[in-house]
Amino acid sequence: MCVDWRDGDLYLEVRVQPRASRDQITGIAAARFRIRITAPPVDNAANQHLQQFLAREFGVAKSRVEVIKGLNSRNKRIVIRQPKNRPGWLGNRT
């Protein structure tokens, strides 16, 4: 499952494609949200950019978005603490 809610926090399973032409959610594959970001996978730039992108999407501070698994991998587990917004791409997933 790519979405899990626990005590108001949102956990997401994602697969990141760095060095894309633009930041976007491209869908779901293999039980993970596919996210394209423009940052390169160098010196933690992709992780930081991903945190910033998701913070904007969910209306929270960047500090409330954390990569908890897969820092050096394209497959990541993200926690978003007490998200304010529910983006349309999240749909009705609970």
Domains detected in the chain = 3-84 (3.30.1200.10)
- Distance, in Å, from the CA atom of 65 to the CA atom of 53, rounded to the nearest integer, reads 10
Predicted confidence at residue 94, as pLDDT, reads 57
For residue 91, what pLDDT band results from cuts at 50, 70 and 90?
confident
Look up the pTM and report it: 0.92
The tokens describing 52, both together, are 């910033």
How many whole angstroms from its chain centre is CA 22?
Answer: 15
H/E element, 78: strand 75-80
For residue 17, what pLDDT band results from cuts at 50, 70 and 90?
very high
Q: Kindly report, residue by residue over 19-39, the tens digit of the pLDDT.
A: 999 999 999 999 999 999 999
